[in-house]
Chain A
Amino acid sequence: MAVSTGVKVPRNFRLLEELEEGQKGVGDGTVSWGLEDDEDMTLTRWTGMIIGPPRTNYENRIYSLKVECGPKYPEVPPSVRFVTKINMNGINNSSGMVDARSIPVLAKWQNSYSIKVVLQELRRLMMSKENMKLPQPPEGQTYNN
């Protein structure tokens, strides 16, 4: 991953690294991410996937997300939005936007964090007491924007 000794890795390099990791399936296989459009030269628009953790109301579901890494990434956190409907604290119920202030990783962003970290954190939050038993909309629904 990126060197964290104070060297600032250029944005595109970082994102290319993340792309490669996403394709190689680094991690435990419960989250996945990749470029939304393979032709996107700016590497801005990404899609992510989270597999609902077991023993929660999200179990067995696959959540699709859109992640947007702006020009200042990785100095500023990406904006994250759920595409699949979900009922969870910190996610706007009608648009699926993830509220950056309520997700710790986004609120206290560091440039060593990555898309993978964000997705894994969201998955971890699904397992928290306050979220795991929230009633969920039926599977397959998406937000309309």
Chain B
Amino acid sequence: MAENGESSGPPRPSRGPAAAQGPASAPAEPKIIKVTVKTPKEKEEFAVPENSSVQQFKEAISKRFKSQTDQLVLIFAGKILKDQDTLIQHGIHDGLTVHLVIKSQNRPQGQSTQPSNAAGTNTTSASTPRSNSTSVSTNSNPFGLGSLGGLAGLSSLGLSSTNFSELQNQMQQQLLSSPEMMIQIMENPFVQSMLSNPDLMRQLIMANPQMQQLIQRNPEISHLLNNPDIMRQTLEIARNPAMMQEMMRNQDLALSNLESIPGGYNALRRMYTDIQEPMLNAAQEQFGGNPFASVGSSSTSGEGTQPSRTENRDPLPNPWAPPPATQSSATTSTTTSSGSGSGSSSSSATGNTVAAANYVASIFSTPGMQSLLQQITENPQLIQNMLSAPYMRSMMQSLSQNPDLAAQMMLNSPMQNPDTLSAMSNPRAMQALMQIQQGLQTLATEAPGLIPSFTPGPIGPIGPTGPGSTGSGGPPGPTVSSSTPSETTSPTSESGPNQQFIQQMVQALAGASPPQLPNPEVRFQQQLEQLNAMGFLNREANLQALIATGGDINAAIERLLGSQPS
């Protein structure tokens, strides 16, 4: 290095014959050099001609790392390598190592040439609306995710047959066209209590495979989900529609502010394509596609041409309208610009509430549920009684843990069974069911040993039935003890998943008094041991942290560390 004292331009390769040539002209024989490319996770060696440009080098790399060249950022000796540079220019010789960062978000092609300009003008004027919008967006985003994921978890259970999706669309429109129904559903305390359990919600969210895909693509989402404060906040907001509207208004305002800033539109569009589009597409597959797809795609198809800088005054497609309707929507589909790291993963509340609303609809869109809905609207008290029974809680849990089971249940559509339907619509029958449930509870306290064996016998003759009628299994009493041993074996011939499910149901029915979840100490036994081994000796604090984070060790550790003075 010290010998290359010539000051004409960048240092030349220290090869004898070619040293006399200028650095710009290609040497007679391009030497192949081996360059190691190192990411934080892996390391690969590449053989490339010495005189290749960074762009060519990236192309060779992109194949092996399975990314696009746009996503690759190469760093050597503390400098970012630009596409038009050459390897020689930066002094990259044989055997040296280049660092690679793969950006996880795709940037539209028009952006790559002017990132600093757009960002520069964004600074001051955008900072104020952003500080408002980040707080809004972090709230609104998880809300969208919360209800989307949570209810999606349930709805995906019922989506296993194609017939359902057609039915869903119809029912969805019907439901959405009747806002009173929606309101009543949201106000139903059962729904509210379900929404207020962050653990349950998170479980449901995680169980949805689409969510899992989204989480892989955007790791910030998983951070959001794991942050119990945000979850609680958003669940509160979910319960309070007025607050939601307020927030949406704020966000729309912030969005329109951002849009009118020069360069802000680009950032917004970038955020949309990076984040929201995949989410909307994934979330709304069942609902006839992303209503904003045409809006976005028309501009991106024009290969980086700048959309006009004036505000878009055409009415945007209405995400809530049934397909033929042409109402204009006041909401925009773009998202807030990347303020904080958590804010950068946000997508618009509108887009997600659309999906959320759709998912709420989809749950109630099965024909059986629809009739159930009618019951709800006619007699909310009755349904509240039935649904507030603690066993529903564990039904939800077992549903979320075992989606196949529940999918089967939905498929068999116990609600469609006219017997159960009529039973449900008959208030006296419902009361009888309640009595039976109470009877089972007393049984549980008086003679707990009877319950497990009690379960299968009476179910057999009834066949695949919904959860409501499992309680109607034969009268408790002296006949049970004699009939159970003989009947215990017979029901095993029933359809397996249904049987198991119903067993779980009745066990939950009978076991309503004990706590719904196993003792947290037992649940987190393994995690507690790990924390102990790591040196967190305060068992109480560990337990608290684990409960708060739902068993996530990393988050619990952070909680524990945060509580200590840093």
Is A35 a contact partner of B77 (Cβ separation < 8 A)?
yes
Is A32 a contact partner of B123 (Cβ separation < 8 A)?
no
Q: CA of A30 to CA of B44 in the docked complex: distance in angstroms?
A: 16
Asked if A77 CB lies within 8 Å of chain B CBs, one says: no
- Measured between beta carbons, the chain A residues less than 8 angstroms from B343 are 135
- Measured between beta carbons, the chain B residues less than 8 angstroms from A28 are 40
- Measured between beta carbons, the chain A residues less than 8 angstroms from B340 are 57, 133, 135-136
Instruction: Bits for B56-82, please: 1 = Cβ < 8 Å to A, else 0.
Output: 000000000000000001011111100
Given contacts A60-B104, A135-B339, contact A34 B97 (CB under 8 A): no
Asked if A72 CB lies within 8 Å of chain B CBs, one says: no
Asked if A129 CB lies within 8 Å of chain B CBs, one says: yes
Is B73 a contact partner of A138 (Cβ separation < 8 A)?
no
- Measured between beta carbons, the chain A residues less than 8 angstroms from B40 are 28-30, 51
Stretch of B112-120, B189-197, B278-286, B326-334 at the chain-chain interface: B112-120
Is A25 a contact partner of B99 (Cβ separation < 8 A)?
yes
> Number of contacts between A and B (CB, 8 Å)?
123
Is B77 a contact partner of A32 (Cβ separation < 8 A)?
yes
Asked if B163 CB lies within 8 Å of chain A CBs, one says: no
Is A136 a contact partner of B341 (Cβ separation < 8 A)?
yes
Asked if A48 CB lies within 8 Å of chain B CBs, one says: yes
Interface residues on B, range: 35 or more
Stretch of A16-24, A92-100, A101-109 at the chain-chain interface: A16-24
Residue in A closest to B223 when the chains form the complex, CB atoms: A55
Is A24 a contact partner of B96 (Cβ separation < 8 A)?
yes
Q: CA of A16 to CA of B36 in the docked complex: distance in angstroms?
A: 21
Asked if A49 CB lies within 8 Å of chain B CBs, one says: yes
Per a CB cutoff under 8 Å, which of B1, B78, B566 touches A33?
B78
Instruction: Bits for A132-145, please: 1 = Cβ < 8 Å to B, else 0.
Output: 01011111111000
Which residues 295-315 in B have Cβ within 8 Å of A in the complex?
A: none
Closest CB of chain A to B79's CB: distance in Å?
5
Is B561 a contact partner of A23 (Cβ separation < 8 A)?
no
Is B77 a contact partner of A22 (Cβ separation < 8 A)?
yes
Which residues 452-511 in B have Cβ within 8 Å of A in the complex?
A: none
Residue in A closest to B134 when the chains form the complex, CB atoms: A135
Instruction: Bits for B19-54, please: 1 = Cβ < 8 Å to A, else 0.
Output: 000000000000000001011100100000000000
Is A34 a contact partner of B79 (Cβ separation < 8 A)?
yes
Q: CA of A38 to CA of B6 in the docked complex: distance in angstroms?
A: 11
Is B11 a contact partner of A39 (Cβ separation < 8 A)?
yes
Closest CB of chain B to A67's CB: distance in Å?
8
Per a CB cutoff under 8 Å, which of B96, B127, B561 touches A25?
B96
Per a CB cutoff under 8 Å, which of A16, A62, A137 touches B75?
A62
Is B97 a contact partner of A51 (Cβ separation < 8 A)?
no
Interface of B (DSSP majority class):
mixed
Q: CA of A35 to CA of B10 in the docked complex: distance in angstroms?
A: 13
Given contacts A34-B79, A39-B7, A60-B103, contact A140 B73 (CB under 8 A): no
Asked if A46 CB lies within 8 Å of chain B CBs, one says: yes
Asked if B537 CB lies within 8 Å of chain A CBs, one says: no
Asked if A41 CB lies within 8 Å of chain B CBs, one says: yes
Interface of A (DSSP majority class):
loop
Is B219 a contact partner of A25 (Cβ separation < 8 A)?
no
Is B566 a contact partner of A128 (Cβ separation < 8 A)?
yes
Q: CA of A54 to CA of B345 in the docked complex: distance in angstroms?
A: 14
**Most A CB atoms within 10 A — which of B1, B91, B219, B341?**
B341
Asked if A56 CB lies within 8 Å of chain B CBs, one says: yes
Per a CB cutoff under 8 Å, which of B91, B97, B98, B342 touches A57?
B342
Which residues 26-79 in A have Cβ within 8 Å of B in the complex?
A: 28-30, 32-36, 38-39, 41, 46-49, 51, 54-60, 62, 64-65
Is B123 a contact partner of A38 (Cβ separation < 8 A)?
no
- Measured between beta carbons, the chain A residues less than 8 angstroms from B267 are 138
Q: CA of A54 to CA of B554 in the docked complex: distance in angstroms?
A: 13
Per a CB cutoff under 8 Å, which of A34, A56, A60 touches B78?
A34
Residue in B closest to A24 when the chains form the complex, CB atoms: B97
- Measured between beta carbons, the chain B residues less than 8 angstroms from A64 are 78-80
Residue in B closest to A58 when the chains form the complex, CB atoms: B341
Given contacts A34-B76, A39-B11, contact A25 B566 (CB under 8 A): no
Is B96 a contact partner of A23 (Cβ separation < 8 A)?
yes
Is A47 a contact partner of B78 (Cβ separation < 8 A)?
yes
- Measured between beta carbons, the chain A residues less than 8 angstroms from B561 are 129
- Measured between beta carbons, the chain A residues less than 8 angstroms from B341 are 56-59, 136
Q: CA of A35 to CA of B39 in the docked complex: distance in angstroms?
A: 21
Which residues 124-150 in B have Cβ within 8 Å of A in the complex?
A: 126-127, 131, 134
Closest CB of chain B to A36's CB: distance in Å?
8
Is B566 a contact partner of A129 (Cβ separation < 8 A)?
yes
Asked if B101 CB lies within 8 Å of chain A CBs, one says: yes
- Measured between beta carbons, the chain A residues less than 8 angstroms from B10 are 38
**Most A CB atoms within 10 A — which of B75, B123, B219?**
B75
Q: CA of A45 to CA of B106 in the docked complex: distance in angstroms?
A: 34
- Measured between beta carbons, the chain A residues less than 8 angstroms from B73 are 62
- Measured between beta carbons, the chain A residues less than 8 angstroms from B134 are 135
Is B119 a contact partner of A129 (Cβ separation < 8 A)?
no
**Most A CB atoms within 10 A — which of B79, B100, B105, B131?**
B79
Is B1 a contact partner of A142 (Cβ separation < 8 A)?
no
Q: CA of A129 to CA of B566 in the docked complex: distance in angstroms?
A: 8
Given contacts A30-B40, A129-B562, A141-B120, contact A62 B80 (CB under 8 A): yes
Closest CB of chain A to B565's CB: distance in Å?
10
Which residues 544-566 in B have Cβ within 8 Å of A in the complex?
A: 558, 561-562, 566
Sampled A-B contacts (6; CB under 8 Å): A25-B98, A29-B38, A34-B77, A60-B104, A138-B122, A141-B123
Known: A39-B11, A60-B103. 14 other contacts (CB 8 A): A22-B77, A23-B96, A25-B98, A32-B75, A51-B40, A51-B101, A59-B220, A60-B105, A62-B80, A62-B101, A133-B340, A138-B119, A140-B115, A140-B120
Closest 9 CB pairs of A and B: A34-B77, A25-B97, A57-B341, A47-B78, A140-B119, A135-B340, A33-B78, A29-B38, A34-B78
